[in-house]
Structure 1
């Protein structure tokens, strides 16, 4: 087991670039997205800072075009930038909706989102530029946490924390199948990933990483890693998770960023302008907003001496600038405080509430309360003797001391089940603090 990064404050989202051996994660408290090379663990870099992100809760990588996508929970936006953080672009703002996770299919030009609308969770499929969104899964779904794509079988997988279920469907939401729905194995699934014939997931209540056959749910097994604090997202470091795909943006004429689009549209890609720019036959800087303050000041000082005009003008401008920075600071403080107060951690899924008290909403987000670590669980933990292949697993977890052994998952006894169901509020808070 290798620790990729530690002393993280509120790490939630996780993705990686398999070929470049680079891991990306979000930090909600510091309001940023960081990265590190798996070959040089001292190379931690901030990809996007609090100037570009507020509450980045989910990540996905378009490895074909080197684009990093993220969901901002507070802003209700889906955004994209190059993986080095350059040219951040807001693709979509979801009015009246809460977005939880994002997954991408670069060759087909699809972007999948889990979102809540009018207290009803659903899965949406959009173009990768954020347009043409359709609801594809609305039935047999209660609280989808994260998404994963099976690129070889063209299937979408998701974990449902409320139904304690892992399901899959075609990309249009049809042909839904339940992979696994046994409480002994699914006490509270959160992160999910697909690798070849298996589905891997994290369980925030069992504090484990588990796997089973993606079609039958059989041969369910787990890492014996006792993480102690609930594991969050999971990514598989294996070539099959990011296969070679056709690049529809190859030799594109775009000035800044080319986004692949689905078949059947006007074209197979779209050129987009980064934030602060507008499309006018190309990307040009957006005009700045002007006010009537200057003309008002000029009118007020007419008839005074030139020296008095300059003195008053400079004084007024200085006061306005000072007030502007004070207002920005107050707004920033209020937004950060509102975000912290809106998160109420009362169970393993860390409910999000609409008040400062105990009133609970069905919109929940997974946010660890304390420092987190990005663990790379060593190959020995998930060796498959039948295929003789090594699979590495990257998981964001809380503070803990994983052990390097692996064994089949045993059936839980009635006493175990009762014990898990009887976890009180104080017990859960001890687990995540």
Structure 2
């Protein structure tokens, strides 16, 4: 028997239990039922929660953390300090986690909105949508290279897969994947979105998450090879404006810029909980990041970078104010790297895509097909043709390359050309630069000294 209830008729039960007795003034121990604090989301574990009879216990990822003395927090085993990176229109900045130090990372841009980091090689990927450029630069500023100069306008999210060494991107209604060097690109889905907004990958699990804020807003989950597409959040969501994943608690976080909330859920969309809410705290979140016990985000109304506790929204702090609206935010931390992965041993000649868990498979960029060995890729075009980059995968005769007329929508047939002196539409001999009429090409008679006018004929 348990102690008698208060004389006013209200009963209380021990933590982790609740009474089911219908008696007014007392309840027996047999009437107590254990509740699962982990399932109900009423725990305060930093990472993992495990239900016990009448209570719960917290655990941490043992490779990187140890359980703190408060028995709920996870303390990192290393002392390395991460850094925040955020896009700011014409520039990219990096900042200490407490906001006390801030440095200019990259300037001279026009409208950079999306960024992500390839931590292993200390590279920063960003989309400058106004000049239609996707670029990569080393964090020390020594190395910089354009990866793509087409179909960058309309990009709504980029995400680096540090295991498969790929870059995923959302553009208008489509989902793309390409190698980090930009050489091979594949469309995973066409016309599957209406108003896509945010993108995040979880390579250790082989999962990709994307949001859409159309009239039927949703958050979707799929394998990183494009299989098993599923909408996991469809209710109570209007403008899912930001996504991030806490890989240690294995929860996804998102911000709704219409509902003024930051929420979280398990990776399958279950066990939702609201972390921060209200127009005074999160009036218009654009991008999210998570590290240790805190969420970090950019907000257009505050015009700044902010943070709060990831479990309850407490310790709300404005880290940095900006003159204009900030965009994408991400963080750099070197120690959370997978030392080995299946793609290293897969032997894929172009794309290595994670198909869920630790399984991988080789794929080819658009314009190529996978050969029978399951690793090698061969062009769908003949050896006398080139394949257009971008989304059309069109084969164009090499004789039309650098002729001054765009055959490819992405202009790839007119890129990296030598100096051209002939009028558009005329053939220019490769060595002598002589100009020949189109009617003289592939007529069975050599017009150019080097024979280049007859070289790529069918």
TM-score by length of 2: 0.59
Matched, 1:63 2:199: no
CA contact 1:4–1:36 (8 Å) conserved in 2: no
Corresponding residue for 2:289?
193
Aligned-residue offset at 1:327: 10
Matched, 1:260 2:357: no
Q: What is the CA–CA distance in structure 1 between the aligned matches of 2:226 and 2:263, rounded to whole Å?
A: 25
3-state secondary structure, aligned to 2:227: coil
Matched, 1:92 2:201: no
Structure 1 residues 137, 84: CA separation in 2 closer, same or farther (over 3 Å shift)?
Answer: same
Aligned-residue offset at 1:220: 0.9
Q: Which has the higher contact order (CA 8 A, sep 6+)?
A: 1
3-state secondary structure, aligned to 2:120: coil
CA contact 2:110–2:131 (8 Å) conserved in 1: yes
CA contact 1:27–1:56 (8 Å) conserved in 2: no
CA contact 1:32–1:56 (8 Å) conserved in 2: no
Q: What is the CA–CA distance in structure 2 between the aligned matches of 1:69 and 1:248, rounded to whole Å?
A: 19
Aligned-residue offset at 1:178: 0.6
CA contact 1:112–1:123 (8 Å) conserved in 2: yes
Corresponding residue for 1:144?
240
3-state secondary structure, aligned to 2:228: coil
CA contact 1:56–1:70 (8 Å) conserved in 2: yes
Q: What is the CA–CA distance in structure 1 between the aligned matches of 2:182 and 2:408, rounded to whole Å?
A: 28
Correspondence for 1:229 among 303, 324, 344: 324
Correspondence for 2:223 among 108, 127, 137: 127
Correspondence for 1:182 among 262, 278, 302: 278
Corresponding residue for 1:277?
368
Q: Residue deviations 1:41-91, cap 9 Å, x none?
A: 2533212222x6443221111112321111112xx2222222222212222
Aligned-residue offset at 1:18: 2.5
Please identify, of 227-236 and 53-62, the stretch whose mean Cα deviation from structure 2 is larger: 53-62
Aligned-residue offset at 1:35: 1.9
Corresponding residue for 2:179?
82
Q: Residue deviations 1:184-207, cap 9 Å, x none?
A: 111211110001110001111110
Structure 1 residues 161, 79: CA separation in 2 closer, same or farther (over 3 Å shift)?
Answer: same
Q: What is the CA–CA distance in structure 2 between the aligned matches of 1:65 and 1:143, rounded to whole Å?
A: 30
Structure 2 unmatched ranges of 5 or more: 1-101, 383-398, 412-458
Structure 1 unmatched ranges of 5 or more: 289-316, 331-433
CA contact 2:257–2:286 (8 Å) conserved in 1: yes
Corresponding residue for 1:44?
144
Aligned-residue offset at 1:328: 5.9
Alignment of 1:332-343 (within 5 A): none
Corresponding residue for 2:201?
104
Correspondence for 1:72 among 163, 168, 171: 171
Please identify, of 14-23 and 279-288, the stretch whose mean Cα deviation from structure 2 is larger: 279-288
Corresponding residue for 2:257?
161
Q: Residue deviations 1:314-340, cap 9 Å, x none?
A: xxx99xx88x7499699xxxxxxxxxx
Q: Residue deviations 1:281-335, cap 9 Å, x none?
A: 25222247xxxxxxxxxxxxxxxxxxxxxxxxxxxx99xx88x7499699xxxxx
Q: What is the CA–CA distance in structure 1 between the aligned matches of 2:188 and 2:105, rounded to whole Å?
A: 30
Correspondence for 2:314 among 189, 194, 218: 218
Q: Residue deviations 1:219-253, cap 9 Å, x none?
A: 11111x3311001110112246x543762323113
Structure 1 residues 152, 327: CA separation in 2 closer, same or farther (over 3 Å shift)?
Answer: closer
Structure 1 residues 325, 184: CA separation in 2 closer, same or farther (over 3 Å shift)?
Answer: same
3-state secondary structure, aligned to 1:250: helix
Structure 1 residues 140, 16: CA separation in 2 closer, same or farther (over 3 Å shift)?
Answer: same
Q: What is the CA–CA distance in structure 2 between the aligned matches of 1:107 and 1:258, rounded to whole Å?
A: 14
Q: What is the CA–CA distance in structure 1 between the aligned matches of 2:108 and 2:348, rounded to whole Å?
A: 39
Structure 1 residues 42, 243: CA separation in 2 closer, same or farther (over 3 Å shift)?
Answer: closer
Aligned-residue offset at 1:121: 1.1
* Alignment root-mean-square deviation, CA: 2.7
3-state secondary structure, aligned to 1:108: coil
CA contact 2:163–2:343 (8 Å) conserved in 1: no
TM-score by length of 1: 0.62
Corresponding residue for 1:13?
114
Q: What is the CA–CA distance in structure 2 between the aligned matches of 1:126 and 1:54, rounded to whole Å?
A: 24
